[in-house]
Amino acid sequence: MSDKRAVDGPAPVVDGTHPRSPGAPLPWLTSWERDLLALSTAFKLLLWPCYHSTDFEVHRNWLAITHSLPIRHWYFDSTSQWTLDYPPFFAYFSWLLAQPAPLVDPLIVSLHEGIDHAAWPAKAYMRATVLITELVLGAALVAHARFGSQRALKSGHGDVPTTSSSAPATATATATTDVGSSIPKSPSAIATDDTATLLAASLFLHPGLVIIDHIHFQYNGFLFGVLLWSLWAAREDRPLLCAFLFSSLLNLKHIYIYIAPPFVVYLLRAYIYPPGSQPSDLPKSLERLIILGAVTLAPFLLSLVPLAIDGARGEAGATGTLSQMVSRLFPFSRGLIHAYWAPNAWALWAFADRALVKLFQRRPELIGFLPHRLATKFHASAAAEGLASASRGLVGHVSFAVLPDILPPTCFLLTLTCMLVYLFKLWQAPTYRSFLSAISLCGFASFLFGWHVHEKAIMLVLVPYTFLAADDYAHFRTFVILSTAGIVSLFPLLYEAAETPIKLGFTLLWSLVVFGSLSKRVYRPITSNLGIAVHPLETAYLYGFLLLQLYVSVLHPLVFPAPPSAAVSLQPSPASAAIPARASLSPAPSIAPPIATDAATPIAAGSHESISDAAPEVSVIDTILPTAEAAAADPEPTASSSPQDIEVDQAQAPATPAEAVDGLDDFSLPDTEPIAAAGSNLASSSDLLQSAASTAVAASPTAAVAATADASIPAAAPPSTPPPVADPSSSAAMEFLPLMLVSVYCAIGVVWAWLRASSLYLAQQY
Stretch 260-279: mean pLDDT: 93
Instruction: Examine the pLDDT at 312 and tell me if it is beyond 80.
Output: yes
More confident site: 603 or 338: 338
Stretch 490-502: mean pLDDT: 90
pLDDT for the residue numbered 623: 32
pLDDT tens for 600-639 read 333 233 333 333 333 334 333 333 333 333 333 343 333 3
- Phi and psi at 235, nearest 5°, equal -65, -35
pLDDT for the residue numbered 184: 36
What's the mean pLDDT when you consider all of the chain?
75
Residue 414 CA to residue 142 CA, distance in Å, equals 37
Query: What amino acid occupies position 239?
Result: P
Start-to-end Cα distance in the chain: 29
Stretch 252-257: mean pLDDT: 96
Residue 342 CA to residue 720 CA, distance in Å, equals 39
Give the whole-number percent of the chain exceeding pLDDT 90. Answer: 51
State how far the alpha carbon of 135 is from the alpha carbons of 219, 226, 280, 506, 745, in Å. 11, 11, 46, 21, 34
Q: What number of other Cβ atoms are within 10 A of residue 634's Cβ?
A: 18
DSSP state of 724: P
Stretch 751-758: mean pLDDT: 97
pLDDT for the residue numbered 726: 42
Stretch 562-568: mean pLDDT: 48
Stretch 110-123: mean pLDDT: 94
Pick the most confident of 298-307, 618-627, 686-695.
298-307
More confident site: 62 or 334: 62
Query: What amino acid occupies position 402?
Result: V
Residue 727 CA to residue 601 CA, distance in Å, equals 9
Residue 678 CA to residue 684 CA, distance in Å, equals 10
Stretch 486-492: mean pLDDT: 96
pLDDT for the residue numbered 168: 38
Instruction: Examine the pLDDT at 166 and tell me if it is beyond 90.
Output: no
- The model's confidence at residue 147, banded by pLDDT at 50, 70 and 90, is low
DSSP state of 643: G
Pick the most confident of 342-346, 645-649, 656-660, 696-700.
342-346
Stretch 745-758: mean pLDDT: 97
Q: By the 8 A CB rule, do 474 and 756 touch?
A: yes
Q: By the 8 A CB rule, do 234 and 398 touch?
A: no
Residue 247 CA to residue 139 CA, distance in Å, equals 19
More confident site: 28 or 239: 239
Instruction: Examine the pLDDT at 313 and tell me if it is beyond 80.
Output: yes
In the chain, DSSP finds a helix count (H) and a strand count (E) of 29, 6
- The model's confidence at residue 26, banded by pLDDT at 50, 70 and 90, is low
Q: Would you report the helix, strand and coil content of the chain in percent, each value rounded to 5?
A: 60, 5, 40
Stretch 276-294: mean pLDDT: 92
Instruction: Examine the pLDDT at 697 and tell me if it is beyond 90.
Output: no
Residue 624 CA to residue 563 CA, distance in Å, equals 18
pLDDT for the residue numbered 557: 84
pLDDT for the residue numbered 3: 42
Stretch 167-189: mean pLDDT: 38
pLDDT for the residue numbered 270: 92
pLDDT for the residue numbered 158: 39
Stretch 15-44: mean pLDDT: 72
State how far the alpha carbon of 287 is from the alpha carbons of 72, 234, 238, 272, in Å. 37, 20, 17, 8
- The model's confidence at residue 146, banded by pLDDT at 50, 70 and 90, is confident
Question: Exposure string (b/e) for 684-712, b if CB count within 10 Å is 16 or more?
Answer: bbbbbbbbbbbbbbbbbbbbbbbbbbbbe
pLDDT for the residue numbered 334: 73
pLDDT tens for 398-434 read 678 889 989 999 999 999 999 999 999 999 999 999 9
pLDDT tens for 202-247 read 999 999 999 999 999 999 999 999 999 999 999 999 999 999 999 9
Stretch 249-265: mean pLDDT: 97
Question: Exposure string (b/e) for 272-310, b if CB count within 10 Å is 16 or more?
Answer: bbeeeeeeeeeeebeebbeebeebbeebbeebbeebbeb
pLDDT for the residue numbered 678: 38
- The model's confidence at residue 688, banded by pLDDT at 50, 70 and 90, is very low
Stretch 478-486: mean pLDDT: 97
pLDDT tens for 33-61 read 899 999 999 999 999 999 999 999 999 99
Stretch 474-489: mean pLDDT: 97
Instruction: Examine the pLDDT at 83 and tell me if it is beyond 60.
Output: yes
pLDDT for the residue numbered 766: 76
Stretch 560-587: mean pLDDT: 42
- The structure's pTM equals 0.74
